[in-house]
């Protein structure tokens, strides 16, 4: 094969390869175009679906977006935008199909509490008035009584109203400095916390002496110093007794209590405060050189009450600095004349921490028991002394106590017994959210009535009616019990129903003015326990009487059952007084009479 033939073949091959490549390229373009077209179609379809969903969602949203301004919601919240069904429309409460901002009854403004000196912005008028505040419409300007300024309290600061500043002063028993020239909170806080304490060293009477001051106080002292001001120097974090300062102030074994502070402090020979009293470090040079924080002092996190070696008292943990007294303090301090006074109390042989409150009673039965003349008391341990706070007379209040981690808290709470007698179901009777009652199965009351002591309105005694006195005379079967624990008449169905009935009585029986010569509360309420029982006899062959119906009424157990009802009503029946003495009689009387059509036999 010659050279020309070889060249010809090579050209043909290149052309063939080029044509092949073009064919492949064309195929590639076609194959690539198909996914792009499919992508475009899918995109259009998806957008269509999204548009439909968006339109549907917007339509649905518009259907449910209509909200109302509820003056009060069913859940108890005031001035809320909510669906209509969430609004409380009872008792004249208003609703409006608009935003609460657009209504007059939920217009927001400033709510000022004149007692506490606090002011709340964006408060609805109704809510403010219900809380006892004074409401002012928001006109764009802050009311004068709500303007906040800087209240400096000791080494602390608060951005509050003038009245609130005075309230804080009385609350903490500290003098305050109300700075009306400071109009922002950041500047207020900075004005109280910018100064640190240290030794302010200067010359006096040709001696180098010292005062423990803040940097600001030392600077002020320097500006008013009559001598060479260059010799007045502040040493941050140092005590005046530091040896390197070479002052005439040195360590001592004296201590001091400071008004407004809990701790016992050491004092140097110049009368300056040093660190918290620590008997183990009183000879320690370092402890007389630098200022140690409370957290770095002895016994931090503990009360240290009655400690003879540590003066790191803490009022909230039950101790504070006081001058040592033999009669009050269990230990004498190793140095100085001051100690962390233990603020705990001892009552009836039991220890109570400072701030604890607990319940006590003047009755031998205890709190909430049924002794006549009994009363509950709330006792308070405060600053090593126990004070007594009586609950209301006639057991109209009860003392309730709870204990959390060994710390007791107590309060006098209203005894809600007044509507017990008129409750007819056990569920209503024992609803502790509404009343303090108990259900006695099978018992019943004569003429149940709502309770009200004579000082709240006299309740007339129950005297009975003619119908009451003659009921049951038409059927002498022994089943008629008037106001008794069996109840009912001769109907077997009624008797069956009465087995599941009962009476609602006070869980904590109240007291009455039983000494009232006109009867008063005691006669009125105690008469609800009156009952009578008709017992049927027949003569035997020997002419003796034999009980055949309601024979249980002759047993002492019948009286015991009735007595349970009687004593639960209040100061009724067989009771003792709060010193354990019984009354002049048994607290009840019984009568057994032969049944006559004109009258009923009774047993009271």
pLDDT tens across 97-110, in order? 988 888 888 888 89
pLDDT grade, residue 113 (50/70/90)?
A: very high
Q: Are residues 410 and 526 in the same domain?
A: no
Residue 309 belongs to a domain: no
Clarify whether residues 490 and 402 are in a common domain: no
What pLDDT is attached to residue 254? 98
- Average pLDDT of 26-53? 44
Q: What is the mean pLDDT of the chain?
A: 79
Is pLDDT of 185 > 50?
yes
DSSP-based helix, strand, coil % in the chain, nearest 5: 30, 25, 45
Give me the pLDDT at residue 200, please.
96
pLDDT tens digits, residue range 237-257? 999 999 999 999 999 999 999
Contact 345, 386 (CB under 8 A): yes
Task: Tally helices (H) and strands (E) across the chain.
Answer: 10, 30
Name the DSSP letter for residue 401: E
DSSP labels, 16-55:
HHHHHHHHHHHHHHHHHHHHHHHHHHHHHHHHHHHHHHHH
Q: Would you state the pLDDT for residue 188?
A: 84
The answer to whether 428 touches 376, Cβ cutoff 8 Å, is: no
Q: How many CB atoms are closer than 10 A to CB 412?
A: 18
User: Under a CB-based contact definition with an 8 Å cutoff, are residues 339 and 301 in contact?
Assistant: no
How far is it, in rounded angstroms, from Cα 456 to Cα 392? 14
Q: pLDDT, tens digit, for every residue of 359-378?
A: 998 876 655 555 787 889 99
Note whether 460 and 518 are same-domain residues: yes
- Range in 268-272, 304-308, 548-552 the model is least confident about: 548-552
381 within domain boundaries: yes
Instruction: Check: CB of residue 375 under 8 Å from CB of residue 571.
Output: no
What is residue 16's predicted lDDT score, i.e. its pLDDT? 42
Whether residue 138 lies inside any domain: the answer is no
> Quick one: average pLDDT of 180-206?
83
Residues 431 and 553 in one domain: yes
DSSP string over 226-245: SS-GGG-EEEETB-TT-GGG
Query: Looking up tokens 């008469």, which residue turns up?
Result: 527
Q: Is residue 544 part of a domain?
A: yes
Q: DSSP letter at 515? A: T
What is the pLDDT at residue 194? 55
Band of pLDDT at residue 451, cut at 50, 70 and 90: low
Token couple for 44: 């259009």
Please say which residue of 387, 414, 441 terminates a domain.
414
536 in the same domain as 446: yes
Q: What is the pLDDT of residue 590?
A: 73
364 within some domain: yes
- pLDDT given for residue 245 in this prediction: 97
**Pair 493, 363 in one domain:** no
At which of 391, 414, 437 does a domain end? 414
Choose among 376, 388, 378: nearest CA to 409: 378
The confidence score (pLDDT) of residue 465 equals 35
- In this predicted structure, the answer to whether residue 210 has a pLDDT above a threshold of 90 is yes
Helix (H) or strand (E) segment spanning residue 172: helix 162-172
Q: Which of 168-182, 329-343, 386-400, 479-493 has the lowest mean pLDDT?
A: 479-493
410 and 434 assigned to the same domain: no
Residue 267, token pair as written in the block: 């004092």
Query: Into how many domains does the chain fold?
Result: 2
CB 420 within 8 A of CB 451: yes
Pair 385, 499 in one domain: no
Query: Whole-prediction pTM value?
Result: 0.52
Please say if the pLDDT value at position 458 is more than 70. no
Label residues 94-124 b or e (16+ Cβ within 10 Å = b): bbbeeebeebeebbbbbbbbeeebbbbeebb
* CA atoms of 275 and 251, how far apart (whole Å): 11
Using CA atoms, how far residue 428 sits from 419, 421, 431, in Å, is 10, 11, 5
Provide the phi-psi class of 555: left if phi over 0, else alpha when psi is between -120 and 50, else beta.
beta
**Both 499 and 371 in a single domain?**
no
Maximal C-alpha separation, the chain? 165
Q: 524 and 408, same structural domain?
A: no
Look up tokens 């009559």; give the residue. 226
Q: Indicate if the pLDDT at residue 117 is higher than 60.
A: yes
Interatomic CA distance for residues 266 and 387, integer angstroms: 34
Strands (E) across 394-544 are located at 397-404, 407-414, 437-441, 481-482, 502-506, 532-533, 536-539
Name residues whose C-beta falls within 8 Å of residue 21's C-beta, 6 or more positions apart in sequence: none
Cα–Cα distance list, 536 to 16, 499, 554, 555, 559 (Å): 134, 21, 11, 14, 18
Q: What are phi and psi of 166, to 5 degrees?
A: -65, -35
Domain, as residue range, for 356: 350-414
Strand partners, 390: 377
Which residues, at least 6 apart from 221, have a Cβ–Cβ distance to it below 8 Å? Answer: 200, 202, 211, 213, 232
- The CB density around residue 492, as the number of other CB atoms within 10 Å, is 9
User: Are residues 386 and 519 both part of a single domain?
Assistant: no
Phi, psi of 116 (to 5 degrees): -90, -15
- The domain boundary residue, chosen from 369, 390, 414: 414
Label residue 314 by pLDDT band (50, 70, 90).
Answer: very high
Residue 494 counted as domain residue? yes
Q: Which phi and psi angles does 359 have, rounded to 5°?
A: -100, 150
User: Is residue 67 included in any domain, yes or no?
Assistant: no
Q: Please name the residues in contact with 567: beta carbons below 8 A apart, sequence gap of 6 or more.
A: 370, 509, 573, 574, 575
For 599, which DSSP code? B
**Within this chain, do residues 562 and 448 fall inside the same structural domain, yes or no?**
yes
Q: Is residue 379 part of a domain?
A: yes
Q: Which carries the bigger pLDDT value, residue 512 or residue 281? A: 281
Q: What is the pLDDT of residue 17?
A: 45
Question: Do residues 337 and 323 make contact, with C-beta atoms less than 8 angstroms apart?
Answer: yes
Highest mean pLDDT among 160-169, 264-273, 488-497, 538-547: 264-273
CA dist., res. 510 & res. 519, Å (int) = 16
Pairing of strands 357-361, 397-404: unpaired
Confidence of residue 193 (pLDDT cuts 50, 70, 90): low
Closest CA to 380 of 347, 402, 339: 347
């Amino acid at each position: 094969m010659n050279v020309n033939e070889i060249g010809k073949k090579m050209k043909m091959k290149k052309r063939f390869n080029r044509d092949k490549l073009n064919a492949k390229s064309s195929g590639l373009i076609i194959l690539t175009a198909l996914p792009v077209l499919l992508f475009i179609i899918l995109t259009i379809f998806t957008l269509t679906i999204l548009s439909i969903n968006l339109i549907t969602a917007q339509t649905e949203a518009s259907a449910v977006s209509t909200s109302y301004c509820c003056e009060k919601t069913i859940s108890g919240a005031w001035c809320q935008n909510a669906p209509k069904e969430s609004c409380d429309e009872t008792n004249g409460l208003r609703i409006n199909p608009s935003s609460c901002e657009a209504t007059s009854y939920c217009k927001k403004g400033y709510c000022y509490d004149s007692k506490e000196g606090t002011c709340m912005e964006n408060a609805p008028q109704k809510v403010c008035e219900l809380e006892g505040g004074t409401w002012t419409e928001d006109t764009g300007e802050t009311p004068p009584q709500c303007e906040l300024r800087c209240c400096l309290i000791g080494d602390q600061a608060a951005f509050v109203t003038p009245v609130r500043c005075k309230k804080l002063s009385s609350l903490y028993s500290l003098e305050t400095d109300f700075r009306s020239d400071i109009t922002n909170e950041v500047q207020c806080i900075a004005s109280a916390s910018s100064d640190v304490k240290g030794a302010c060293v200067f010359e006096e009477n040709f001696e180098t002496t010292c005062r423990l001051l803040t940097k600001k106080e030392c600077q002020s002292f320097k500006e008013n110093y009559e001598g060479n001001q260059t010799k007045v120097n502040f040493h941050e974090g140092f005590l005046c007794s530091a040896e390197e300062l070479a002052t005439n102030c040195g360590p001592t074994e004296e201590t001091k209590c400071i008004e407004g502070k809990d701790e016992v402090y050491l004092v140097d020979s110049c009368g300056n405060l040093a660190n918290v009293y620590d008997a183990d470090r009183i000879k320690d040079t370092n402890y007389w050189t630098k200022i140690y924080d409370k957290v770095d002092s002895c016994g931090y996190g503990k009360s240290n009450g009655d400690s003879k070696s540590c003066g790191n008292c803490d009022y909230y943990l039950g101790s504070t600095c006081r001058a040592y007294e033999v009669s009050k303090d269990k230990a004498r301090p190793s140095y100085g004349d001051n100690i962390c006074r233990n603020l705990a109390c001892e009552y009836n042989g039991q220890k109570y921490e400072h701030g604890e409150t607990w319940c006590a009673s003047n009755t031998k039965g205890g709190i909430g028991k049924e002794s006549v003349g009994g009363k509950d008391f709330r006792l308070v341990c405060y600053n090593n002394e126990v004070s007594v706070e009586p609950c209301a007379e006639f057991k109209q209040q009860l003392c309730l106590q709870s204990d959390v981690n060994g710390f007791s808290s107590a309060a006098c709470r209203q005894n809600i017994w007044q509507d017990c007698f008129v409750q007819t179901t056990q569920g209503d009777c024992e609803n502790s959210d509404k009343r303090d009652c108990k259900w006695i199965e099978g018992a019943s009351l004569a003429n149940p009535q709502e309770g009200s002591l004579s000082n709240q309105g006299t309740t007339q005694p129950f005297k009975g009616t003619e119908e009451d006195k003659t009921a049951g005379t038409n059927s002498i079967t022994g089943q008629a019990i008037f106001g008794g624990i069996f109840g009912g008449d001769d109907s077997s169905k009624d008797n069956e129903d009465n087995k599941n009935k009962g009476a609602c009585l006070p869980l904590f029986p109240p007291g009455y003015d039983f000494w009232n010569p006109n009867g008063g509360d005691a006669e009125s309420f105690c008469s609800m326990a009156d009952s009578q029982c008709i017992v049927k006899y027949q003569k035997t062959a020997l002419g003796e009487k034999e009980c055949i119906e309601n024979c249980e009424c002759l047993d002492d157990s019948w009286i015991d059952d009735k007595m349970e009802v009687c004593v639960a009503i209040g100061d009724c029946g067989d009771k003792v007084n709060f010193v354990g003495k019984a009354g002049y009689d048994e607290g009840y009387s019984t009568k057994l009479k032969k049944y006559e059509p004109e009258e009923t036999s009774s047993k009271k």
